[in-house]
Amino acid sequence: MQATLSELAEITGARLEGDGSTIISGVSTLSDAQQGDIAFLTNRRYRLQLQHTHASAVILHDDFVADCHVVNRLVTDNPYLAYALIASYLASEQTQFSAGIHPNAIIAASAYISTAARIEANVVIGENVVIDDGVFIGAGSVIGKDCTLGTDTRLCANVTLYDDISTGKRCLFQSGSVIGGDGFGFASDNGRWVKIPQTGGVRIGNDVEIGVNTAVDRGAINDTIIEDGVKLDNLIQVAHNVHIGANTAIAGSTAIAGSTSIGSGCTIGGCSGIIGHLEIADNVHISAMTIVTKSISSPGQYTGNMPAMPHCDWSKNMVRLRQLDDIARRLKQLENGKT
C-alpha cells in the first residue's frame, strides 16, 4: 500500500514540513532507507544518521529538526507512535483476505461461521462455536466447543483454543499459543497427586495480542480474565484464575502463578516471576528478571531477585537487608563520634 505524506500526517496527527504529495510506500531505518521510504528517529544515538539518510521523509521530534537534512518531515512529540501507526497502515493490505472456508476444514454442524470470515486448511471447529465477521483462522488451528471469536480477530497457524473461550474484537493470536488448557491444580493424598478438575473458562477483551507459544490456562472454578488492550509476548505462562488489567504489557518468558491479579497499565519485564494469590496495583512497572513474592499496592518501578539458597537463610538475609539503611546510618554516626 502507498500513501501521500499528507495522508500520513493526518493519520498520525504530526506536523507536515515539506511536500505533502510525496508518495511513501514503505518504512525503513535511517541507514537503510531509500527513495519512497519513510524513516524514523526514536533514539538520539542515531541522530547523526539524519545527515546521510536517503529516505524520502523522516519522522522525528521537534528537537532534532535542525539536524535533519531531509526536506520532507513529520514532526511529532511521539515519533515511535507515529512510526507504529504508519507501519500498520502501509502493511494493512498484507492482512486482508478473501472470505471463505477451505474444503479440508472440519466444522461442527452447530457452529456459526460468518460469511465474512476466513477458515484455512485443516482447521477444526467444535460445537456451538460463534465466529464473527472478519475473523481469520490459520491453517491447523483448533477451536473447541462453545467458543466465541469477536469481529476481526486473527488466529495464525496452529493456534489452539480449548472449550469455552471468548475473545473480543481485533485480537491476535500468534502460532503455537494455547488458550484454555488445564490449570496446574492438584491435591496431595499422602504423596500421590490427585487432579482437581478445571471447570472455568477464559475471557479475553478487545485488542488483545498473545505471542508465540504462550499459554493461558482456564480457571479452576471462575474464569481467567484478560482485559482490553493487553499485550503478551512469546513463551509466557498465565496460570488459572489470573486477572490481567487493561493495557498491561508483559515481556517474554514471564510466569504468573494462579489467582494473581495484575492491574491496568502495568509493564512486566522478561523472565520475571510472580507467585500466586497476589494483588498488583495499576501502573506498576516490574524490571526484567524480577521475582515478585508479595502484593504491590502502590504504582512505580520495582526491581530485584536473589540467587537460590536455603529458604531459612534467604529469610534471614532479607530481614538484614531491610535493616541495611538503618545500620549504615548508625555506622556513620559512630564514625562521626556520635552515640
Active site residues: 240
Beta bridge partners, 23, equal 4
Those residues whose C-beta lies under 8 Å from the C-beta of residue 103, and which sit 6 or more positions away, are none
Cell of 176: 503455537
Distance of CA 38 to the CA centre of its chain: 26
Query: Helix H segments across 181-308?
Result: none
Cell of 117: 470470515
Residue matched to cell numbers 531509500? 34
Phi/psi for 108 (5° steps) reads -65, 150
**How many angstroms separate the CA atoms of 169 and 185, rounded?**
31
Helix 5-12 and helix 79-91, axial crossing angle in degrees, nearest 10? 120
CA distances from 291 to 96, 242, 248, 254, 304 (A): 41, 17, 18, 10, 6
CA distances from 240 to 133, 141, 213, 249 (A): 30, 22, 17, 18
Phi/psi for 50 (5° steps) reads -60, -30
Radius of gyration of the chain (CA): 25
Cell of 99: 472470505
